[in-house]
Chains A and B, each alone.
Chain A
Amino acid sequence: MTRLSATSRLRRLLALIPWVIAQRDGAPVEEVCRRFGLSRDALERELNLLWMVGVYPYTPHELIDWEIDADDRLHIYLADWFKRPLRLTPDQALALVVTGRSLASVPGADPDGALARGIAKVASVLQIDPATVEVDLGEAEDTTLELLRTAVSERRKVELRYYSYGRDVHTRRVVDPWRLFARSGQWYLEGYCEQSGARRTFRVDRIDAAGLLDEPIGQPPPEDPVPSFAPDPTAPRVVLELRPGARWVIDEYPVEEYVELGGGAVRVRLAVTARAWFERLLLRLGPDARVVEVPDDLADAGAKAAQRILARYAES
């Protein structure tokens, strides 16, 4: 068991007591431990705190009492003031509603399923209309997401036609799909890519076509969690000076450093993970950005990209 703070333990006790009281004929100790994440020893230690809890003037019939009977069932008596759990805090209520709405927006969700019913009941006692929160986890074609979900659960390989945004190329890949997850408004597929011989993360909306193969996956999913999106520490860094109109860069990109230059202008440092990515950034910024520091091989990135695009305009 992880060590909890005093208030976390108190929160748990204030939830555990009413749950046990609500069970007719006591609650099986094993069940209490499982629901509230306690070992039997830890449960008994927490319950021992209750012996001396009561209210003034602390006559015996004002003290909380508990026992574990011969059938290993826990009973708690005389704790009327703790008969109901503490109301949900606003952030807990929000977490529940957001969670419910998120999963309801995923293709294949059952609108009359247990989750939808549970959220509706909780929302109703909290007097919240769940429709006051709308969640879209990411933009992706439902059919592609469903196919990938099937592939992950059946542990079958998939063949993808994928657009590598950073390198601006289309490729065909065969992937062992490990997991699907949503971050920052996008769905991602993580898996083992046969072409690169390594673990890769694919953005689902950049998959142009996906096919489910009959072949089972070759590499099992690793235990470690979803990869982080922190930029590669070895990626080259650039420093840009931005006019006030380009401050959105601070919101949209993982800026590593920024210095206010007065009048709304700002100097930022960014990691460049791929040349095409940097080209797009400079093209969007135009005259609102001045490149202050850049590795030699990226120095002409903006100008070269603009010339390439202008060549298209010259021909059509």
Chain B
Amino acid sequence: MDKVERLLKLTATLLHTARPLTAEELRERVQGYPERDDAFHRAFERDKQALRDMGIPISVEPIPFRDPPAEGYRIHPGDYRLPDPGLEPDELAALNLALSAVRVEGVEGVEALWKLGGQVGGGAEHVAELPSEPALIPLFGAVVECRPVTFAYRSGERVRTRTIDPYRLDFQLGHWYVLGRDHARDEQRRFRVDRIVGPVDVGDPDSFERLPPSDDELARPWDYGDEDLVEVRLLVDAEQAGWARRYLGPDVATEERADGSVVFTVPVRNWPPFRSFVLTFLDHAVVLGPPACRAAMVEWLHQLADVAS
């Protein structure tokens, strides 16, 4: 018998029953299982796993009034069913186009479409692919249901445990971030999802009120830090000034010189990431001030320049 047929029968039986059924009862009611006991149990375990992997919620419950006590299986229809979103044909077609244009790595969008009414219209050109991280799905569930999460987080060389109330997931500059209130610091923080190490522990639903995230603009790496804010003046040559202006924003371009070069005045709280940023311009940018930052850059460069010569 086709395996699909047996899985369909098992699903129908588990959905239809008003009380939990034991494995033996299911063996009797669902045709297509092997005769031998051990082979039946192996096949039944595999089927249960296959249905659960599809997202079918099989619950395991004690069978009432049974002596000796035993556990049985059923599917509660309310857990199984997708409420009808009432999509209009054009809306379904738009979702279809969108799912073929944007892919989340490792997630099969077509099955979501089947559930919503099938594929309508042609597929679109593949426009974007977003990476997926193991922690992403549990974090998404936690954001939606307002569950606190605890995870190990790698920052530099250290791995520390953090507990946060997650408010939002952001995809920016090629990385996923989770934004939320850090319990230990009692303030909003942003964490890179690919730096979460190991599993995410998820707490109880409705544990917090989701607040609008406070920083809507993505902070640059040199905005994070506990050092005093320093206004660094950076001269960028004419050729690179356009790109620098797009990246840093027009607000910090404080002086345009006759040769087309531009001076940017950038607030910096964390020097090493800003130093890295300046160095990506190679010899097309110079730190003008303050003197301590200029000296730090010159000293850094000397360490490299003096090795070979």
Contact = CB atoms under 8 A, between A and B. Distances in A.
Contacts of B174: 183-186
Contacts of B54: 7, 10-11, 86, 89
Contact of B95 (A83, A96, A181): A96
Nearest to B80: A86
A226 B85 CA distance: 34
Contacts, number: 332
A213 B304 CA distance: 46
Contacts of A311: 283
Interface string B171-205: 11111000000000000000000110000000000
Contacts of B114: 11-12, 15-16, 36, 85
B81 A181 contact: no
A118 B169 contact: no
Interface stretch (B34-42, B64-72, B224-232, B293-301): B293-301
Given A88-B82, A125-B85, A205-B246, A310 B12 contact: no
Contacts of B107: 91-92, 94-95
A134 B304 contact: no
Interface string B230-250: 000001000110110011000
B209 interface: no
A38 B17 CA distance: 31
11 contacts: A7-B53, A10-B7, A34-B118, A92-B55, A94-B137, A102-B102, A115-B98, A132-B143, A303-B305, A306-B305, A316-B286
Given A53-B8, A313-B286, 4 more contacts: A56-B29, A84-B80, A90-B141, A283-B304
Nearest to A97: B140
Given A13-B8, A36-B114, A132-B168, A94 B140 contact: yes
B137 A115 contact: no
Contact of B157 (A9, A36, A82, A247): A247
A19 to B, nearest CB: 6
> Chain B contact residues (Cβ within 8 angstroms of A): what range?
35 or more
Interface residues of A, number: 115
Contact of A182 (B127, B247, B276): B127
B115 A15 contact: yes
B4 A306 contact: no
B9 interface: yes
Q: Would you list the 4 A-B pairs with minimal beta carbon distance, nearest first?
A: A35-B118, A185-B174, A118-B91, A303-B308
Interface string A162-202: 01000010100000000111111110000000000000000
Contact of A244 (B91, B157, B247): B157
Contact of B304 (A81, A141, A282): A282
A110 to B, nearest CB: 10
